[in-house]
Amino acid sequence: MQFSKSTAYGLHALMLLAKSERGRNVGIKELSSSLGASESYLSKIMSKLRQDGLVRAVTGVNGGYELARAASEITFLDVVQVLEGRQHLYECFHGSDHPLPSLEAAGDEPETPEFAFGEGCPVKQVMDAAELQMNRYLQQHTIQSALNQAGSCDAHTASKK
């Protein structure tokens, strides 16, 4: 289990857009050469971000992308959910919900097993809650907040130059 490259690209593209900002449209060429991704591939990603309302795009001369809302209003969770999808990380394998098989009931009912639970399967509960912990954190961090972090780092590495 890993985040897809698309998510990495998407996050970085948004960081770049946030840095540039001020009405200026940033073209796919600029983005792709900055990130080292192909134009075609990155454009797919940008397209998804647009469809989900994270960026605006304008075609034609001087066209390109810009953030659709303030960088402080775009959370990491937004980006992850667009590019990784919104399914749960943990998916049950029998039917859609609840069970938890027991050893004893094994041979008896192979197709409609006598399972122990209703809604509150503890395995799924733990896994979903774990996912929630991560998502909560991702939701608390925005492109802007990351950019601020970057700023302070910038300062201290600039001195090295």
Partner DNA sequence: CATATAATGGACATTACAGGTCCATAATAA
Partner DNA sequence: TTATTATGGACCTGTAATGTCCATTATATG
Helical packing angle, 122-140 and 76-84, nearest 10°: 130
Q: CB within 8 A of 126, min separation 6: which ones?
A: none
Q: CB within 8 A of 48, min separation 6: which ones?
A: 10, 82, 83
Residue 52's Cα: distance from chain center in Å?
12
CA pair distance 57, 66, nearest whole angstrom: 7
Partner from ligand SF4, DNA, its own copies, none binding residue 141, C-beta < 5-8 Å depending on class: its own copies
Binding site for its own copies (CB under 8 A): 1-5, 7-9, 11-12, 15-16, 19-20, 26, 30, 33-36, 76, 84-85, 87-94, 100-103, 105-107, 110, 116-118, 120-123, 125-127, 129-131, 133-134, 136-138, 141, 146-147, 149-150, 153-154, 157, 160
Residue 60 or 156 having the CB closest to ligand SF4:
156
Partner from its own copies, ligand SF4, DNA, none binding residue 87, C-beta < 5-8 Å depending on class: its own copies
